[in-house]
Amino acid sequence: MNINRLLQQREIAIALSIAVVCIVASIAWPSVFPTFGNLSQLFLNISIETIVACGMMILLISGAFDLSVGSVVALSGGIAAYLLYNHGMYPLPAILAGVGAAALIGLINGYLVAYVGINPMIQTLAMMGIVRGAAMMISGSGIQNLHADFTVLGQSRFLGFQSPVWIMMAVVLVLHVLMSKHVLFRQYYYIGSNEQAAILSGIRVKRLKMHSFVLISLLAGIAGVLLAARMGAALGTSGRGMELRVITAAILGGASLLGGTGKVFGALLGTIFMGLVSNVLIIARVSGYWQDIVLGIILIVAVWLDLALKKQSVKSLKKVVGKR
């Protein structure tokens, strides 16, 4: 496999970029950057978004996306906190209620997109507003003083990493294996590559599409409960803007808006890269004004390089076919 073909896999390219940034930062700031404390904090900062980004990656592979995830994060945490604080419910049923509500939103999104035929962007954009309003109503000015039995879910530590990091690792691992090995999940690649062909080959496209929306909302629900547990409070404004950040991470990690490409592990790489860039910019004392500019430029360069490499690949293929 030559270097061009290797770089065409966006996961490899982003992993190399992460390695380069880490090496440069370690040389430039040896006492600050390459420390376990910085690493564990970096992973904690990206953990909750990565859980959602994994779901977004699967959705993008199938050729859709969901803009309501940030609002779902706020709603699920709000419902769990509301039941815990106002009704004295035990943590487990409160968490299940929060995550269950999130899954229900995914079911509605999925049904309306897959079976009714509403455009995913319109459907999830509308749902984003509805769910955000509901989250604001439930959380009010914030539900505080959540019980330690609940906050332990987001605040406990194991081997130096806080619990959301371990949960993120588990989610990435399970979904990566499922998307790589399991026939049912592999079908998302067919749907994203050519939906019509997938239908003709007997894949139950509508049902699978609906499941992908349920899955991402479920993951956003888990992320919302984790965020509330980490903060010890549920805020109606939680998760605001998360939808675009996770889409950006998934695209950096190898997804395409056209569908059919990407790996769950790539979503993790995308969030690591974004977190790393922010981390390094602050260590380098770069003004806050520059952070969004740098991230925007990186996204454009990554997608542009991807397109350039793909074009080169198509040219090479045509040459080979021409010779034969």
Partner 1 sequence: MGTTTGNRCRIGVWTLFWCMVLCGACDPNRIGNKQFNRHVEASTVDSDYTFDTEEYILISTAINFPMYVNHDQAAFLRWGKARNVKTTILGPSDWDVAAQIAVIEQVIAAKPAGLLINGTDPGLAMAINKAVDAGIPTVVYDSDIPGSRRHAFLGTDWREIGRLQAEAMAKLIEGKGKVAYLGILGMTNMEEGYLGMKAVFDSYPDIEFVGRYDDKASVEEAARITSDLLRAHPDLAGICGFDAMSGPGIGLAIREAGQEGKVKVTTVDWEPEHLRLLKDGVVQHLVGQKRELFTWYGAQFLFDMAHGVNALSANDRKAGIVSIPYIVNTGLLEINASNIGQFLPGQ
Report the SS3 class of residue 234. strand
Residues 144-203 that bind partner 1 (CB under 8 A): 144-145, 155, 162
Q: Is 48 one of the binding residues for partner 1 (CB under 8 A)?
A: yes
Q: At its nearest, how many Å lie between partner 1 and the CB of residue 9?
A: 19
Is the separation of the CB atoms in 189 and 39 below 8 Å? Answer: no
Q: Is 272 one of the binding residues for partner 1 (CB under 8 A)?
A: no
Q: Is 291 one of the binding residues for partner 1 (CB under 8 A)?
A: yes
Backbone angle region of 227, left / alpha / beta, with phi > 0 → left and psi within -120 to 50 → alpha: alpha
| Piece of the chain touching partner 1 by CB under 8 A; list 12-20, 78-86, 106-114, 136-144 | 136-144
- Closer residue to partner 1 in complex, CB, 58/128: 128
Over the window 83 to 112, marking each residue x when it contacts partner 1 by CB under 8 A and - when it does not, the resulting string is ------------------------------
Identify the residue among 202, 289, 320, 321 touching partner 1 (CB under 8 A).
Answer: 289
| Piece of the chain touching partner 1 by CB under 8 A; list 90-98, 183-191, 202-210, 233-241 | 233-241
Q: Is 80 one of the binding residues for partner 1 (CB under 8 A)?
A: no
Is the separation of the CB atoms in 313 and 8 below 8 Å? Answer: yes
Q: Is 312 one of the binding residues for partner 1 (CB under 8 A)?
A: no
* 123: nearest Cα among 73, 64, 78, 79: 64
Q: At its nearest, how many Å lie between partner 1 and the CB of residue 211?
A: 22
Cα→Cα distances 217→38, 109, 137, 257, Å: 30, 9, 20, 19
Rounded distance between C-alpha atoms, residue 238 and residue 58, angstroms: 23
Q: At its nearest, how many Å lie between partner 1 and the CB of residue 104?
A: 21
Q: Is 30 one of the binding residues for partner 1 (CB under 8 A)?
A: no
Helices 288-323 and 242-252 pack at an angle, to 10 degrees, of 40
Cβ contacts of 212 within 8 Å, gap of 6 or more: 55, 58, 59, 62, 64, 110, 188
Q: Count residues contacting partner 1 (CB under 8 A)?
A: 57
Radius of gyration of the chain (CA): 20
Cβ contacts of 301 within 8 Å, gap of 6 or more: none
The full 3-state SS of 150-181, as one line of letters, equals HHHHHHCEECCEEHHHHHHHHHHHHHHHHHHH
Which positions touch partner 1 (CB under 8 A)? 32, 35, 37-38, 41, 44-45, 48-49, 65, 67, 121, 125, 128-129, 132-133, 136-137, 139-142, 144-145, 155, 162, 227, 230-231, 233, 235-244, 247, 256-258, 275, 278-279, 282-283, 285, 287-289, 291-292, 307
